[in-house]
A and B are shown apart, each in its own frame.
Chain A
Amino acid sequence: MKLTSLVATAVLLIGTALLVNTVRAEDAAEARQRMIELGKAHKTAESLYLALKERAHGGRRLAPSSMPDWSGVYTRARGGITFDPDQQRGAPPTAKLTPEFQRKLAERIEMANKGIEWDPISTCSPPGHPRWLTEPFLRDFVVTPDQTYLINEMVNDIRRIYTDGRGHIAEEDRLPLYNGDSIGFWDGDKLVIHTNQLQAGIYQRRNPDYTDQVETVEIWQKVNPRLIEVDVWVYDPPALAEPWYTKQSYAKLDDQNKTLRIRYWHCGENQNNTVVETDGGGTQFRDFTFDGQGSGIGDQGSGGKP
């Protein structure tokens, strides 16, 4: 084959690849916009959840012979510790916030830029949902006919999703919980979840706050043997001017040697990890013990100002 033919072939292949990628990007942008509009079409998370359930004719009950295989060890596929993986590097979070919460976010970022930052999970309290979606450690997901367990290695954090047809706890009996109360149904191979009864928190560092009125709707689906994707709508009227849609994803890790383990965590395992909030709102270590006396397991408290 002549050189000119080789060059022409290469140009054609590269051009095709670029075109395919462009089309995919446009498809993804259109799909995201459709999801945003779907969220905006419903005033509450419950309304969206019920609409999805109606569309699924009530959903199906899993049988042992028809359960999706979500086995394996996963981790967050992209997004670092920003809530929205599609947030551009250096850009602000994609949430449309109310003025009060926009101001709070601006203050948080300004302080962090000055080196002043305190994260409420520094003393090993759970991240809470919806922040739970962002933590970067190992995860596994256990599907059973009536309940699905979504497990994050960090502080042994388990979300239980009831899919046996039960409803939420009666409103007068509710209390704010780190991971809330989650019910769901199966629509084919998609797990649809509604979560309420949540505590206030932050989506992540340099990300907005959410209030204890926050609720979420999620659609989990294993889209290929190595990837689970999740459409997430967050509703929180005091903080969000409109529902915040994001697409989260979790990649199945190569574990051919069977060495990956999800193990119990406690912040007090090593006193060198103990940090405290300073009077100025920053983060600082306590005294280190680098004296060769071991890690000091369990002999210190956590939290409190120095």
Chain B
Amino acid sequence: MNTLRGSTVVALLLAAASSAWAHHSATMFEQTKTITVEGVVKEFQWTNPHSWLLVDVTDKNGKVTTWGFEAEGPSTLQRAGIRPSEFKAGTRVTMTGRPMKDGRPAAIWVLAVRGDGKKFDPREGFQVK
């Protein structure tokens, strides 16, 4: 069963602020807090200027909440090794993100750890190599 670990923790991941800044300000997201949730991929919206990974998270009472994790568009994510084929519907994943200040179930995608342990960091898409 998927569980919501969602306790908000203070993080030192200020560098994560780089994600989602290219098209609009990221001030609607928390700047210094992260959440971590476990769930299964519902849909990968592979779109410009931002992509959204939708993850169904089930809490201890069995209630399912769909979380959206925002990242950059396809060309940047591709450079980070992130593609829809890596996140097919039903894929188990643990997501870390900076949540919305207003409490809606959305966050900036900081890190995804798939069920097989493979990690996906969208910021790598801005690396020059």
**Contact of A228 with B by CB under 8 A:** no
Chain A residues positioned under 8 Å from B109 (CB to CB):
none
Contact A121 B23 (CB under 8 A): yes
B50 lies within 8 A of chain A by Cβ: yes
Q: Is the CB of B75 within 8 A of A138?
A: yes
Q: Does B39 contact A (CB under 8 A)?
A: no
Assess whether B22 is in contact with A283, with CB atoms less than 8 Å apart.
no
Indicate if A209 sits at the interface (CB-CB under 8 A): no
Q: Does B8 contact A (CB under 8 A)?
A: no
Q: Give per-residue flags for A110-131: 1 if the beta carbon is below 8 A from chain B beta carbons, else 0.
A: 0010011111011010000000
Are the C-beta atoms of B50 and A270 separated by less than 8 Å? yes
| Closest-CB distance, B35 to chain A (whole angstroms) | 16
A75 contact set on B, CB distance < 8 A: 126, 128
- A154→B49 contact, CB < 8 A: yes
> CB distance A119 to B25 under 8 Å?
yes
Determine the chain A residues whose CB is within 8 A of the CB of B74 once the complex forms: 263
Main secondary structure of the interface of A (DSSP, over half): loop
Q: Does B66 contact A (CB under 8 A)?
A: yes
Number of interface residues of B (CB under 8 A): 38
- Is A136 a contact partner of B128 (Cβ separation < 8 A)? no
Q: Does B42 contact A (CB under 8 A)?
A: yes
Q: How far is the CA of A251 from the CA of B129 in the complex (A)?
A: 8
A52 within 8 Å of B by Cβ?
Answer: no
Whether B27 and A283, one on each chain, are in contact in the complex, defined by CB atoms closer than 8 angstroms, is yes
**B25 in contact with A118 (CB, 8 Å):** yes
Q: Indicate whether A284 sits within 8 Å of B28 (C-beta atoms), given known contacts A124-B49, A290-B54.
A: yes
* Contact string against A for B residues 88-116, beta-carbon threshold 8 Å, 1 for contact and 0 otherwise: 00000000000011101110000000000
Contact yes or no, A77 B128, CB < 8 A? yes
CB of A253 closer than 8 Å to a CB of B: yes
CA distance A270 to B18 in the complex (A): 21
Closest to A81 in B: B21
A117, B26: Cα distance in complex, Å: 9
- Report which of A81, A118, A282, A290 forms a contact with B22, defined as CB distance below 8 A: A81
B54 to chain A: which residues have CB within 8 Å? 290, 292
| CB neighbors of B among A178-223 (8 A) | 205
- CB of B106 within 8 A of CB of A262, answer no
Interface size bracket, A side? 35 or more
Query: What distance in Å separates the Cβ of B125 from its nearest Cβ neighbour in chain A?
Result: 10
Q: How many whole Å from B123's CB to the nearest CB in chain A?
A: 11
Query: What does the 1/0 interface line of B37-59 toward A look like (CB < 8 Å)?
Result: 00000110101111110100000
Kindly state whether residue B73 has any CB partner on chain A within 8 Å: yes
Query: Is the pair A253, B129 in contact by a Cβ cutoff of 8 Å?
Result: yes
Chain A residues lying within 8 Å of B45, measured Cβ to Cβ, are 270, 272, 294-295
In the A-B complex, the 4 residue pairs with the closest CB atoms: A270-B47, A117-B25, A290-B66, A122-B24
8 of the cross-chain contacts (CB-CB < 8 Å) are: A112-B25, A122-B24, A137-B73, A154-B49, A260-B75, A272-B45, A288-B106, A290-B66
On B, residues with C-beta under 8 Å from A are: 18, 21-25, 27-28, 31, 42-43, 45, 47-52, 54, 66-68, 70, 73-76, 78-79, 100-102, 104-106, 126, 128-129
A residues adjacent to B (C-beta < 8 A): 75, 77, 80-81, 112, 115-119, 121-122, 124, 135-138, 153-154, 205, 251, 253-254, 259-263, 265-267, 269-270, 272-273, 275, 282-285, 288, 290-292, 294-295, 297
Known: A260-B75, A292-B66. 6 other contacts (CB 8 A): A261-B75, A267-B23, A282-B28, A283-B27, A290-B66, A295-B52
